[in-house]
Amino acid sequence: MKRNILLLLVVLLPILASAYDAKIGSIYYNFSGDEVEVTSSNNNTTEYTGVVVIPESVTYHNKTYSVTSIGINAFAKSSNMISVTIPESVTKIGGSAFLGCSSLTSITIPESVTSIGHWAFQGCRSLTSLNIPGSVTIIDQGVFSSCTSLKSVNIPECVTSIGPAAFNDCGSLASVTIPNGVTSIDNGAFCGCRSLKSITIPEGITRIGFVTFKGCRSLTTIIIPNGVTRIEGDVFMDCSGLVSVTIPNTVTNIEDGAFSGCI
């Protein structure tokens, strides 16, 4: 019985070890139908270095496939990768796809991309600017968290939601314009953005979530728009430079610690 189990493991081991269908050039892929996804290697090694160009299509077993997505963890922890070009054929960037790519200074996200997964660029601490394509409607959880060199970001008009910790600990981010279509800014979205000097909260917001602007010590003025009914706990905690706050009559609830440390 034990011998049979060992034989089975020997047979299955190559299958279990492989997390990708093929490696073409330096990039790993998974194939499905006529499409292909960029994926990680079986052991998620940090082998990508320098400039990486993802092709629009690849040929495998004499068939050409369109590259349509970048999968979960595809380039994660590639700490020596400095630039990535994503083709127009890609429509989706998966969760943690570029997590921990600490040397990444430049990335071009095409207008074809409609979805960027949670924590996709977390810890890309060399990125200084970023243009989010107009096709993206949701900035997911932690997408740009700990991008400590990020100084400016363009949030397109079609965005309706900014997720939890989306820009958490982006310590160099000085200015953000939130479009009027945004109706939800979730907990901790801009927590720790200590260089943020100004922020415009759009009229469609009804609540300002827990610790959303905590530690934004360069903020001096906040105007909370009509329509907001609840200012949640610790929202502006430790915003030590805050000297002026306008709160509309629509606000019925200010929770504990909302302005704690605003000396």
Q: What are the tens digits of pLDDT across the range 94-131?
A: 999 999 999 999 898 999 999 999 999 999 999 998 88
Grade residue 2 by pLDDT with cuts at 50, 70 and 90.
very low
- Kindly tell me if the per-residue pLDDT of 11 is higher than 50: no
Q: Is residue 197 part of a domain?
A: yes
Query: How large is the greatest C-alpha to C-alpha distance in the chain, in angstroms?
Result: 76
In a domain, 23, yes or no: no
Q: Averaged over 183-210, what is the pLDDT?
A: 92
- Residue 242 C-alpha from the chain's centroid: 28
CATH number at residue 72: 3.80.10.10
The three-class DSSP label of residue 150 is coil
The average confidence (pLDDT) of the chain is 90
The domain total for the chain is 1
Domain assignment present for residue 210? The answer is: yes
* Per-residue model confidence (pLDDT) at position 42: 65
Domain range for 142: 68-254
pLDDT 10s digits, 246-259:
999 999 999 999 99
Average pLDDT over residues 211-217: 97
What is the per-residue pLDDT across 219-244, written as a single tens digit (0 to 9) for each? 999 999 999 999 999 999 999 999 99
Other beta carbons less than 10 A from residue 73's beta carbon: 20
Q: Report whether 179 contacts 156 (CB < 8 A).
A: yes
Q: What is the pLDDT of residue 148?
A: 97
Task: Using alpha carbons only, give the angle 228, 229, 233 rounded to the nearest 5 degrees.
Answer: 100
In a domain, 43, yes or no: no
Rounded CA separation 11/24 (Å) = 25
pLDDT of 177 reads 85
Query: According to the model, what pLDDT value does residue 5 have?
Result: 43
Q: Cα separation of 228 and 254, whole Å? A: 11
Is residue 206 one of the residues assigned to a domain?
yes
pLDDT band, residue 1 (cuts 50/70/90):
low
Q: What is the CA radius of gyration of the chain?
A: 22
Please answer whether residues 232 and 258 qualify as being in contact, where contact means their C-beta atoms are separated by less than 8 angstroms.
yes
Contact yes or no for 98/104 (Cβ under 8 A): yes
Alpha helices by DSSP H, 104-196 = none
What pLDDT shows up at residue 41?
83
Residue 170 lies in a domain: yes
DSSP string covering 192-223, please? Answer: T-TT--EEE--TT--EE-TTTTTT-TT--EEE
Within a domain: residue 14?
Answer: no
Task: Give yes or no for a contact between 202 and 181, defined as CB atoms under 8 angstroms apart.
Answer: yes
Any domain includes 54: no
Structure tokens at 5: 């189990």
